[in-house]
Structure 1
Amino acid sequence: MLRSFQYKKNEYDTIPLQLVLLGADHDQEPVYRMHGINLSQLLYCKEGQGELILDNRKYVIDKGQCFIILKNTPHEYHSTGGKWILDIIGFNGSIVPLLLRALKINSSGAYLLSNRDILEAHHKKLLEISEQNSKHKHMLLSQETYALLTDLTYCLTHIASQAADYGNPTITRIIEYLESHYGEDISLDTLAQITSRTPEYLCSIFKEHTGLTIVKYINGIRLLHAKILLVEEPSMSVSEIAIKCGYSSASYFGKVFLKQYKLTPNQYRMSHLM
């Protein structure tokens, strides 16, 4: 079942978060959207296995996992064989960008769910409301969608695409550690200890599987988080952001940032706040 909801012109101001699309037990066909779609989506895998492709990176989506695609993000997804059954929630509205930033849902991608019951309970409630013959139905759907999103932030863990792509337990362990500890001083000896491998072996296998050195990979993670903080935390100084993202000095952070993005951290910040 796949159901859409139409809103009157005056409702766009009175209902800033709109449920646009609701699917239940949907046998998902292949989707190829090179320019994205004009709404954000949350899709939950109930049965089978599929593959999500974002920015030339692949994520494997298994039963019990979900993926989020933000508005106007190019994407494609399809079953990896047999039926791929999804529950779908598509939403839009003027408050969505601010709401997602506040909830730390910063990017499209695949997510692990630590509590599937929360999503399933909210989805069931949305289905019940959608069947009501009430003049307040759209507002009730908005309220339940808001409750769903706020509850989910406590049980979502982003899945690194590299881990999904390479399928090597050692690579997966390294990436998970880097994603969780990017703000710390990370040494090869530490990575060797947590994986029970030698530093030389780790450097070799990581480059072989990812095409990047470990140093370059962790630097990419740090810069990504720095970009987010520069925009979302205008009260934080560049020095504070540098330290929070694992750089020992603001001057070195500035050099690395400028080399990567052709802008200083302050220039990047101002270009997004003006």
Structure 2
Amino acid sequence: MLFHYEIERIRRDQPYTMLANHFHDHYEIYYLLSGKRNYFIQDRVYAMQEGDLVLIDKHTLHKTLDADDRPHERILINFEERWLAMKNDETYAVALSPFRPKHYIVSLSGANRTLVENLLFSLLREKQQELLGWELNSKALLTQLLIFCSRLMDHSETLDEHPQAYNPKIFEIVTYINEHFNERLTLALISEKFHISPSYFCRSFKETIGFSFVEYLNNLRIREAQRLLRETKLKVIHIAEQAGFDSVAHFGRVFKQVTSQTPLECRKMMHPGL
């Protein structure tokens, strides 16, 4: 199924944590209309308040988590770069610039919040009604939103430092895993290195990050494998080794589980001419 652009508004009255492992090759914008959420991005969990806008770059591991048991409402936009801009159109570089910094969250208030919400509601109406020219108008509205964000980020004093959720020990371990995911990593090795019991580590990691240790490690390795499939001509057996898997069979099983594709199917999709 082809994907280019999606937008949706959802209110949840019950606790909700994303079940799916989550990274992708398109851009994502998440806006919290009401309530509170915890948002795991790359190697940290951020405490979100209403009026927060999250900008997720391609191939960035992320997941939303419960902050409390109260309702929350959000707007979510996913779009591919080719939908917004023609290939090699450098004039659109500024529109995509908000996804590049490591400051993922913009906290909005007052006139800034009103402007962003008006743009988001206009985007929702365009998609719901699909009147003549809705797609072209949606591209214009989304471009306006992104340029507004890029200007906000140009003035760092307008950005609040976002509070991070608890458990610095787990984040220390996450940072280590991010740097050594392609090496031999086991529960026993992590427990010994960081002087933490395996049971406590497994429980705290899942509670803090929203992934189990194995899920998180596999996601990092598969993301690296996808990069190698996209950017190199290495054989699958060598990609499996460089991504940290101990066998090509195990690599193939995990790759299919995470991406719903085999490595060769993924490479053919990325490089149709091969």
Query: What's the TM-score once normalised by structure 1's chain length?
Result: 0.43
Q: Which of the two has greater strand per residue?
A: 1
Q: RCO higher in 1 or 2 (8 Å CA, sep ≥ 6)?
A: 2
Query: What's the TM-score once normalised by structure 2's chain length?
Result: 0.43
